[in-house]
Amino acid sequence: MRLKTRRDAPVWLIALLPILSIGVAFIIGAFFIIWAGESPITAYIALIKGSLGSTFAITESLARATPLIFTGLAAAVAFRAKFWNIGAEGQLYCGAMAATLVGTGVIDLPAPIMIPMLFIAGALGGCLILLVPVVLKTHMKVDEVVTTLLLNFVILLFVNMLLEGPWKDPMAMGWPQAARIIDNGVLPTIVAKSRLHFGIIIALVMSVVMWAILRFTVWGYEIRAVGYNQQASTFFGISINKSVLMVALFSGGLAGMAGVSEVAGLKGYLTLTLSPGFGYTGIAVAMLAQLHPIGVIVSAIFLASIYVGADAMSRTVNIPNYIADILVAISLLSVLVGAMLTRFRIVWGK
């Protein structure tokens, strides 16, 4: 068995790939559901009902998709330049910390000023922490996969320390959580009596902005060029270090905004349970979207629906909601295998 390089993969194949992968994931997932002793059909119906079956379910799915769009974009833009930022989780918490720092009473301004300020603060928080791995990479060639990943744990422990110590809200009846974001800083909900908040609008706008930057600007060209071929980029006069720095600022900033959106939109305060791994799931979102900023919206909503649906399913049918992780993992693996198949063709025999 050998692999042969294809000429250009047909467009329909590239477009079909995520859909096929998801299909494969559901088929393989069915075996696990049978293993757990249930009918996959009832389980999947429960899953779909739970994620899309009612206004409440849809708003829940979209609310869950909001941080995933931010972290998905963070991963997509970084991976385009082959800058492997695995630290969106930590950057998300940094954004949340920045929002808490600014938004819990130090300053009180009208909402139209306060909210953008929170997002800017959060983006800066995400950027600043990512500067450490960037400088280590550009100046000392330290691998960013290791530094960004390990920094996540440092940041989580730091947040833990703050919440158990100086930032602990005395009004929270002993729970380790920070003070609430002041009213002017809270993101308004867009559907009454739901948790779907204004953050999703900002996430959608950021997707379009990133898409436009990648597609129409010199920055986008440089990001893609550096990702494809560093030698030629250097020959064209593109500074690799500058491009990596730029990409890191985008990526860290977007991840930081995810933290703001969660703190100021969903939870209202900083806790250690703010993110159940949105930073890591963002990587799956980006890969499933094949690093396309608009695709990130679709894949974030899809993955969020699976998670939300699986929660609902575990309540109605007797299956643990870990099935969601299995489905997401398999669809991600299928996309990776499929992406390889669009570039290569398998030839059997010698």
Q: Give me the residues that bind another protein (CB under 8 A), please.
A: 7-8, 216-222, 224-225, 228-229, 231-238, 350
Task: Write out the two tokens for 243.
Answer: 């491009």
The CA distance from 260 to 223, in Å, is 26
Q: CB of residue 10 vs another protein: minimum separation in angstroms?
A: 13
Answer whether 223's CB lies under 8 Å from 214's CB: yes
SS3 category, 297:
helix
Q: CB of residue 235 vs another protein: minimum separation in angstroms?
A: 5
Kindly tell me which of 41 and 346 has the beta carbon lying closer to another protein: 346
Answer whether 327's CB lies under 8 Å from 29's CB: yes
- The neighbouring-strand residues paired with 346 are 3
Kindly tell me which of 158 and 221 has the beta carbon lying closer to another protein: 221
Kindly tell me which of 166 and 237 has the beta carbon lying closer to another protein: 237
Kindly tell me which of 2 and 315 has the beta carbon lying closer to another protein: 2
Q: CB of residue 203 vs another protein: minimum separation in angstroms?
A: 24
Kindly tell me which of 236 and 322 has the beta carbon lying closer to another protein: 236
Answer whether 324's CB lies under 8 Å from 68's CB: no
Nearest 5°: CA angle at 8, between 6 and 13?
90
Q: Who contacts 237 (Cβ-Cβ below 8 Å, separation ≥6)?
A: none
Kindly tell me which of 56 and 221 has the beta carbon lying closer to another protein: 221
Q: CB of residue 7 vs another protein: minimum separation in angstroms?
A: 6
Q: CB of residue 130 vs another protein: minimum separation in angstroms?
A: 24
Q: CB of residue 69 vs another protein: minimum separation in angstroms?
A: 25
The CA distance from 148 to 205, in Å, is 26
Kindly tell me which of 3 and 157 has the beta carbon lying closer to another protein: 3
| Chain-centre distance for alpha carbon 259 | 11
Q: Is 325 exposed, middle or buried (0-12, 13-18, 19+ CB in 10 A)?
A: middle
Answer whether 260's CB lies under 8 Å from 99's CB: yes
Q: CB of residue 142 vs another protein: minimum separation in angstroms?
A: 19
Q: Tell me the Ramachandran region of residue 290: left when phi exceeds 0, alpha when psi lies from -120 to 50, beta otherwise.
A: left
Q: Of 210, 173, 186, nearest to 118 (Cα)? A: 186
Q: CB of residue 49 vs another protein: minimum separation in angstroms?
A: 43
Kindly tell me which of 187 and 291 has the beta carbon lying closer to another protein: 291
